């Protein structure tokens, strides 16, 4: 017998939520096979079985919060066996041979058959693919899982059981509908929908509020003329793609490299406060904010000072794909020293991004918009312009440093040849 425990997740994560059981009680599991998915503050984690055997007990239901180290399931040695009813014919035959004509024997036979029917139903239910919470609901409502139709896929879920448990239209409609309506919608003319926040959305809300309450956050702005970098990208993008196995040359690698150069020039921007100490990070792991259906995540492109443009671009693409496919690991999310977020992909013209965690600052990119710009006192030209923003912790960074940091970003993007020399 082996206990399945919630594994160590990360230094700052002490608990998770059971998102989905991938195996049911009675299922055969192999060593190293995923049996349950946990949702944590940052990523989803699949927990494996350390041994081969049969899943004999589940100690936490889907939606339960479980702490690191707690036992959530038990896997026993052996193999899953089909249900056997070998002994049942003997029980049925005994009364029929000796007391076939007696009422007592008939009653005993009927009772035995009823018991056997229940056993067969329970055995049948065990063989049906259903989530633990669906099985529990079916037991509570006295529903035979073999008669439940699934709405999506082959696994029965709680909503399928609920659907099977719904009465016919003529069966007590007022008893079920009126209390629910009064609870969720007191004013029918003003309809609302109430949904529980996902664990990740709750965590995002909590972290953003902590940053707002625990930092002296300020934002400074500048604007960048994107003409030169756009022309360079236009000239080099096809050759770049050919030389680097299809990797496309985007703007993020330019801004990432510019950020690294600016961080080296202004090291306090690459720092954080730890109690009464200032921790100056001498590595350049840049977080790139990625939007997903469940909210914003910030995977880390590590060692950006040691990587070329192609390596940074490929890392960003890989992390974005993993984020959208919910395949990010904890290692992908840990250890960032500075963050870049690009609201421009959604059409944002200007914003004040919120600092990520304990970091000292975050760079915000925005939409590229063609605007008339004064070239000198006599000339105006339409130029592709981008507003950039630096939100920073004023406890660590002074205004002069923040302005200088942004000015460095601006100068390097407007003169990309200098950026190539810097990197």
Please check the confidence at residue 122 and state whether its pLDDT lies above 60.
Answer: no
pLDDT confidence of residue 328? 85
How large is the average pLDDT for residues 238-246?
92
Least confident of 129-143, 263-277, 374-388: 129-143
pLDDT tens digits along 405-416:
999 999 999 999
∠ CA 137-146-156 to the nearest 5 degrees? 50
pLDDT confidence of residue 304? 96
How large is the average pLDDT for residues 34-44?
80
pLDDT band at 91 (very low <50, low <70, confident <90, very high): very low
CB 235 within 8 A of CB 227: no
| Alpha carbon separation from 348 to 81, 95, 386 (Å, rounded) | 59, 82, 10
Please check the confidence at residue 97 and state whether its pLDDT lies above 60.
Answer: no
Q: What is the mean pLDDT of the chain?
A: 82
Question: In degrees rounded to 5, what are phi and psi of residue 281?
Answer: -85, 130
pLDDT band at 392 (very low <50, low <70, confident <90, very high): very high
Q: How far apart are CA 358 and CA 115, in angstroms?
A: 62
pLDDT tens digits along 299-339:
999 999 999 999 999 999 999 999 888 888 878 888 899 99
How large is the average pLDDT for residues 384-397?
97
pLDDT confidence of residue 421? 63
pTM over 0.85: no
Question: Among positive and negative, which fits the CA dihedral 148, 153, 158, 162?
Answer: negative
Pairing verdict, β 368-374 and 53-58:
unpaired
pLDDT confidence of residue 368? 97
Q: How far apart are CA 300 and CA 316, in angstroms?
A: 9
pLDDT confidence of residue 142? 81
Catalytic residues: 394, 398
Please check the confidence at residue 364 and state whether its pLDDT lies above 50.
Answer: yes
pLDDT confidence of residue 261? 96
pLDDT confidence of residue 38? 85
pLDDT band at 379 (very low <50, low <70, confident <90, very high): very high
More confident residue, 346 or 357: 346
Element (DSSP H or E) covering residue 274: strand 271-274
Q: How far apart are CA 390 and CA 387, in angstroms?
A: 10
Please check the confidence at residue 390 and state whether its pLDDT lies above 60.
Answer: yes
Rama region for 193: left / alpha / beta (φ>0; ψ in -120 to 50; rest): beta
pLDDT confidence of residue 179? 42
pLDDT confidence of residue 90? 45
High-pLDDT (> 90) share of the chain, %: 41
More confident residue, 315 or 126: 315
| Other C-beta atoms lying within 10 Å of the C-beta of residue 312 | 25
pLDDT confidence of residue 422? 63
pLDDT band at 156 (very low <50, low <70, confident <90, very high): confident
């Amino acid at each position: 017998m082996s206990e399945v425990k919630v594994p160590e997740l990360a230094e700052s994560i002490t608990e998770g939520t059971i998102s989905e059981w991938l195996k049911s009680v009675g299922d055969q599991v192999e060593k190293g096979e995923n049996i349950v998915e946990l949702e944590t503050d940052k990523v989803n984690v699949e927990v494996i079985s350390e041994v081969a055997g049969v899943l004999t007990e589940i100690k936490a239901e889907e939606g339960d919060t479980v702490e690191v180290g707690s036992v959530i399931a038990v896997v026993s040695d052996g193999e899953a066996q089909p249900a056997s009813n070998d002994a049942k014919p003997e029980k049925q035959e005994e009364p029929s041979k000796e007391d076939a004509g007696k009422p007592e024997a008939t009653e005993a036979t009927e009772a035995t058959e009823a018991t056997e029917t229940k056993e067969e139903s329970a055995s049948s239910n065990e063989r049906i693919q259903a989530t633990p919470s669906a099985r529990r609901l079916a037991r509570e409502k006295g529903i035979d899982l073999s008669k439940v139709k699934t709405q999506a896929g082959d696994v029965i879920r709680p909503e399928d059981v609920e659907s099977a448990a719904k009465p016919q239209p003529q069966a007590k409609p007022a008893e079920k509908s009126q209390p629910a309506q009064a609870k969720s919608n007191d004013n029918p003319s003003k309809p609302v929908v109430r949904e529980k926040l996902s664990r990740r959305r709750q965590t995002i809300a909590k972290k953003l509020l902590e940053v707002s309450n625990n930092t002296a956050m300020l934002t400074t702005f500048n604007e960048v003329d994107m003409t030169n970098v756009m022309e360079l990208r236009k000239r080099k993008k096809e050759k770049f793609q050919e030389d680097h196995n299809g990797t496309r040359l985007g703007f993020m690698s330019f801004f990432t490299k510019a950020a690294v150069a600016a961080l080296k020039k202004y090291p306090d921007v690459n720092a954080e406060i730890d109690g009464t100490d200032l921790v100056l990070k001498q590595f350049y792991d840049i977080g790139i904010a990625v939007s997903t259906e469940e909210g914003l995540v910030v995977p880390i492109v590590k060692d950006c000072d040691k990587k070329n443009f192609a390596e940074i671009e490929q890392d960003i693409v890989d992390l974005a794909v993993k984020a959208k496919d919910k395949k990010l690991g904890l290692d992908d999310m840990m250890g960032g020293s500075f963050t870049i977020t690009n609201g421009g992909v959604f059409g944002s013209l200007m914003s004040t991004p919120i600092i990520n965690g304990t970091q000292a600052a975050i760079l915000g990119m925005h939409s590229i918009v063609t605007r008339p710009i004064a070239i000198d006192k006599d000339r105006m030209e339409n130029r592709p312009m981008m507003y950039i923003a630096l939100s920073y912790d004023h406890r660590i960074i002074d205004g002069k440093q923040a302005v200088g940091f942004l000015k460095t970003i601006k100068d390097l993007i407007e003169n990309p040849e200098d950026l190539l020399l810097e990197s």
